[in-house]
């Protein structure tokens, strides 16, 4: 094989090797945010708590993916999470649409579900969804449950001690 062909192959090898490195850093490691082509519109939604919602998570309506989450930031004045949603042009939502954060399965990723209302006017680009419902946090649910159990317990205060007393008696024997 002559020298020029070897040069060519080595050049190709080094070029695709370096481009693989760039791919890993950029696309996989997300060094820069790649913007996809824009054809659609954007809406804002404010949530008290977004849980584990991540950028690029899907936005679904009736289970169908209609858009993606573009960006999430904290509003420094109201301390609410401000989520930018990118929706496809073919899907229009009425002004009284409700945005809720759902979890896919028990441990799955979170996404925003949109439930369209009955308003005849549609949300336009850069408008915000008024009605939102925050993510359900399992820790909060558990603590609420524990709290309500603790409040209930005065009704049957003797149940645990009643069980413990004979056990102690058995031990003494």
Instruction: List residues binding other proteins (CB under 8 A).
Output: 3, 6-7, 9-10, 12-14, 16-18, 20-21, 23-31, 54-58, 65, 68, 104-109
Which CB atom, from 25 or from 165, has the smaller least distance to other proteins? 25
Write down the least CB distance from residue 65 to other proteins, Å. 7
Which CB atom, from 65 or from 159, has the smaller least distance to other proteins? 65
Which CB atom, from 74 or from 159, has the smaller least distance to other proteins? 74
Write down the least CB distance from residue 99 to other proteins, Å. 17
Write down the least CB distance from residue 139 to other proteins, Å. 15
Give 167's contacts (C-beta < 8 A, 6+ positions apart): none
Write down the least CB distance from residue 25 to other proteins, Å. 5
At 122, is the secondary structure helix, strand, or coil? strand
Contact indicator for 68, 54 with CB cutoff of 8 Å: no
Residue with token string 């680009």: 125
Write down the least CB distance from residue 131 to other proteins, Å. 25
Alpha carbons 123 and 144: distance in angstroms, whole number: 36
Which CB atom, from 30 or from 144, has the smaller least distance to other proteins? 30
Contact indicator for 45, 51 with CB cutoff of 8 Å: no
Alpha carbons 72 and 82: distance in angstroms, whole number: 6
Alpha carbons 85 and 162: distance in angstroms, whole number: 57
Q: Is 112 exposed, middle or buried (0-12, 13-18, 19+ CB in 10 A)?
A: buried
Which CB atom, from 14 or from 159, has the smaller least distance to other proteins? 14
Alpha carbons 35 and 44: distance in angstroms, whole number: 18
């Amino acid at each position: 094989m002559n020298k020029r062909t070897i040069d060519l192959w080595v050049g190709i090898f080094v070029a695709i090797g370096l481009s693989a490195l760039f791919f890993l850093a950029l696309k996989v490691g997300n060094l820069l945010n790649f913007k996809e082509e824009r054809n659609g519109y954007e809406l804002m939604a404010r949530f008290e708590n977004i849980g584990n919602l991540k950028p690029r998570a899907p936005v679904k309506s009736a289970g169908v993916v209609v858009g993606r989450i573009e960006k999430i930031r904290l509003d420094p004045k109201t301390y609410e999470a401000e989520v930018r949603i990118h929706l496809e042009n073919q899907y229009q939502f009425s002004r009284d649409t409700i945005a809720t954060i759902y979890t896919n399965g028990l441990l799955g990723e979170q996404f925003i579900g949109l439930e369209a209302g009955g308003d005849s006017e549609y949300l336009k680009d850069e408008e915000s969804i008024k009605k939102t419902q925050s993510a359900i946090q399992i820790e909060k649910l558990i603590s609420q449950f524990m709290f309500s159990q603790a409040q209930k317990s005065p009704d049957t205060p003797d149940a645990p001690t009643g069980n413990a007393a004979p056990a102690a008696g058995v031990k003494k024997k």
